[in-house]
Amino acid sequence: MSQVQIPILVICGPTASGKTAAALQLARRFPLEIISADSRQVYRQMDIGTAKATVGEQAQLPHHMIDLIDPDQDFSVADFIDQARPLIEEIDRADKLPCVVGGTGLYIRALLGGLAPLPAADEALRSELHRREKSAGSGTLHRQLQQIDPLSAANIHPNNLIKIVRALEVYQLSGRRMSELQAEHQFADQPYRTLRLAPQLEREELYRRIDDRAGQMLEAGLIAETEGLLARYSGDLKALQTLGYREVLDFLSGQLNYAQMLEMIALHTRQYAKRQLTWFRKESEIIWVDSFSESGRVLQSIENILLD
């Protein structure tokens, strides 16, 4: 990695907030190439339900990190970093501005800050820890974590057994507290200089857009897309638990009628957007903007990171 920090524009925020549209607006003025930061758009055959950029939108400027794997393949945040970072260097060498666009906050955070060097998962150890929690009673592992790594324990809800087990696993495999490893990693050299922007919408407007998108997805053929996936894969496929697809599965199995399916897609998407907003509101470096096409402050900020 070059010692010179590569400039990166990030457009993040909740689903249906207009991130792709914002990038397309800015591409009229700046030489952008989009790197998708969406944990579901990596899947082929899942276009409508993941709200991928349309063929027309993709023709306007290059889009990367979409359609990488089949729906029955695994893809992790580490995979995302491994593939996105060489792309960033390649785009920078071509004198273009890498523009990371998406709503998967963990992908964006890990890409910009990297992943702490934690040991790989140990399934046998995890099974043993889960058995201990079950036999000794709820809260046992969290109390153990409080003794071993009080800082991690304070940041993990006592009911979040997955994260508790991971923290204990890291300690037992490495002999070091996860909180210490993560703190050390925060001081590592940063390979990028970034400008992070997010569309600023009133909650009512965001929810209206989500409701509209739910209907548009169904009109565009989401049911047929889901049926096509069912013809190739099991209904238990993890990727089919994605918002939109899982409600269509319930419709196809007779658990929901059409109106209920539409209502559930919109409701669950609003709930997801609320969680995304909570995540991104905690990211202090994000600048929330009302307009990407006419805001002088936004355009000047982008020029600054290009010319710095």
**For residue 9, pLDDT beyond 70:** yes
159, 185, 211: which is the final residue of a domain? 185
Cα(116)–Cα(180) distance, rounded to whole angstroms? 10
What pLDDT is recorded for position 123?
87
Q: What is the mean pLDDT of the chain?
A: 91
- 1 domain residue, yes or no: no
| pLDDT tens per residue across span 58-95 | 999 999 999 999 999 999 988 999 999 999 999 999 99
Which CATH number characterizes residue 283's domain? 3.40.50.300
What pLDDT is recorded for position 87?
97
Confidence of residue 181 (pLDDT cuts 50, 70, 90): confident
| pLDDT tens per residue across span 209-234 | 999 999 999 999 999 999 999 999 98
238 & 251 share domain: yes
Which CA distances in Å does 13 have to 33, 38, 161? 18, 11, 27
- Alpha helices (H) in 114-202, listed in sequence order: 123-136, 140-148, 150-155, 161-174, 178-185
**For residue 201, pLDDT beyond 60:** yes
**For residue 2, pLDDT beyond 60:** no
What pLDDT is recorded for position 189?
58
Which CATH number characterizes residue 159's domain? 1.10.20.140
What pLDDT is recorded for position 168?
95
| Owning domain of residue 128 | 123-185
152, 169, 185: which is the final residue of a domain? 185
At 194 the three-state DSSP class reads: strand
Cα(264)–Cα(153) distance, rounded to whole angstroms? 35
What pLDDT is recorded for position 308?
65
